[in-house]
Amino acid sequence: MELPKYTMGIGDRFGRQGKAQLAAFVKAAEMGLAVAPVWNKSNREHLLVHTAPPSVRTEADAAVAALGWRKPYFVDADHIGLKTVDGFIQCSDFFTIDVADFIGQAPDDAALEKFVAAQARRAGALHVPGIPEPLEVTTGYIERTARKYLVAVQEAGKVYRHIAAAKGAGAFITEISMDETDQPQRPLDLLIILAAIAQEKIPVQTIAPKFTGRFNKGVDYVGDVAGFEKELSDDVAVLAWAVKEFGLPATLKLSVHSGSDKFSIYPAIRRVLKKTGAGLHIKTAGTTWLEEIIGLAAAGGAGLQIAKELYGQALERFDALVAPYASVIDIDKSRLPSAAAIAAWSPAAFAGAVRHDQRCAAYNPHMRQLLHVGYKLAAEMGVRYQNALEEFAPIIAQHVTENIFDRHLKLIFGPGA
């Protein structure tokens, strides 16, 4: 199984927007953009909303059948490890193996020595096409990097082989994720990581490093956009070099786990894709749940009331909701309107505060981030929330489709690319 050149991960917390999501890819295909959808949902999300992994396959297959989609699509077991992968094996064909928790663990001395010895011949000024300045490689740097990442790559190997034993080698897509960690990986770090992946014989088709800057949930990138563009370009060059040097799959490409809606870096991504001809996997539309809230609010009446109640509950349970996401959100509590204040808000006022439009004076990124991590509250609302999604399905679907097509697919892969 091979991953197409351009793919985009789309999350759907409650599994009700599959057709609305796919409609965006249909529109993209009609304008000549070949981007494959990858439905993804993590074990944590399943636990919080009380769903099971097969539900994502059911949603994706139903959307594909309803819209007559004849192009590739995938179902991603998102951020899994050995402890959580088994429930995803039968229903998924894309596995994001998350080994961030193993970064920094000390490797076995013999394994470390063997790896460093195998890579020592690369010491010196390494010239990678596409990177203007040579990468200065020393055996000391190789050893320090291996001490930090070798165990993580070995863990990825264990998970890959576990999946392959059940599904068969070549029957699924392998991604390795190292983005949920404190420090970004430099291009030279990535090169050494790829050497370790090749040594583990993992046919990785996409890798998600941690980039410099803040990738907070549901809001724009915070950092040096020019620096990000250079880093992305250098990483693309490293991957192309590693494919030839280490015998990794020719389809290997970067995965940008964006946390959604990083509009300021989309032009940079577009320029790098145009310059290099590289492929890309981007996880960026995890905000489908927020588009549901925006749609409910915009509908007014009972929909707006549910949106207001969810926000009020999120304020009351602030600490518990934000704790699991502390490293990927920045919320100033003083900028959060009170429940009393929003009680009188109109549909347009509430939707305007949550919709990610930085040109709008009403936009409130602090409120948006809090709602982003508050989806378990909607799950606790149960049938009432599900019925609201059904009642206001047309307006919600419009928001979901427009968000993915106009603000993601067109900006990243559109004619300007």
pLDDT tens, position by position, 83-142:
999 999 999 999 999 999 999 999 999 999 999 999 999 999 999 999 999 999 999 999
Q: Are residues 341 and 195 in the same domain?
A: no
Q: Are residues 344 and 253 in the same domain?
A: no
* Cα–Cα distance, 240 to 131 (Å, whole number): 11
pLDDT tens, position by position, 292-340:
999 999 999 999 999 999 999 999 999 999 998 888 899 999 999 999 9
Q: Is residue 162 part of a domain?
A: yes
pLDDT tens, position by position, 61-78:
999 999 999 999 999 999
76: domain CATH number is: 3.20.20.70
Q: Are residues 102 and 219 in the same domain?
A: yes
In the predicted structure, residue 52 carries a pLDDT above the cut 90: yes
Q: Are residues 359 and 248 in the same domain?
A: no
In the predicted structure, residue 285 carries a pLDDT above the cut 90: no
Q: Are residues 165 and 278 in the same domain?
A: yes
Q: Is residue 1 part of a domain?
A: no
Q: Are residues 267 and 293 in the same domain?
A: no
pLDDT band at 215 (very low <50, low <70, confident <90, very high): very high
Q: How far apart are the first and last CA of the chain?
A: 26
In order of 284, 387, 389, the CA distances from 281 in angstroms are 9, 34, 29
Q: Are residues 262 and 344 in the same domain?
A: no
Q: Are residues 87 and 154 in the same domain?
A: yes
Strands 94-98 and 6-11: unpaired
In order of 2, 125, 295, the CA distances from 354 in angstroms are 38, 49, 11
Residue 354 has phi, psi (to 5 degrees) of -95, -35
* Cα–Cα distance, 246 to 197 (Å, whole number): 9
DSSP 134-169: PEEE-HHHHHHHHHHHHHHHHHHHHHHHHHHHHH-T
The whole-number average pLDDT for the span 14-41 is: 97
Q: Are residues 210 and 119 in the same domain?
A: yes
Question: What's the structural domain count of the chain?
Answer: 2
Q: Is residue 236 part of a domain?
A: yes
Q: What is the reported pLDDT for 180?
A: 79
* Cα–Cα distance, 374 to 275 (Å, whole number): 39
- Model pTM? 0.95
What's CA 138's distance to the chain center, in Å? 33
In the predicted structure, residue 415 carries a pLDDT above the cut 80: no
Per DSSP, the three-state class of 89 is: coil
Q: Are residues 307 and 250 in the same domain?
A: no
- DSSP lists the bridge partners of residue 283 as 9, 257
Q: CB count, 10 Å around CB of 388?
A: 22
The whole-number average pLDDT for the span 19-23 is: 98
Q: Are residues 389 and 354 in the same domain?
A: yes
pLDDT band at 284 (very low <50, low <70, confident <90, very high): confident
Q: What is the reported pLDDT for 417?
A: 41
* Cα–Cα distance, 356 to 372 (Å, whole number): 12
Domain that holds residue 393: 288-404
Q: What is the mean pLDDT of the chain?
A: 96
Q: Is residue 174 part of a domain?
A: yes
Q: Is residue 204 part of a domain?
A: yes
Q: Are residues 70 and 174 in the same domain?
A: yes
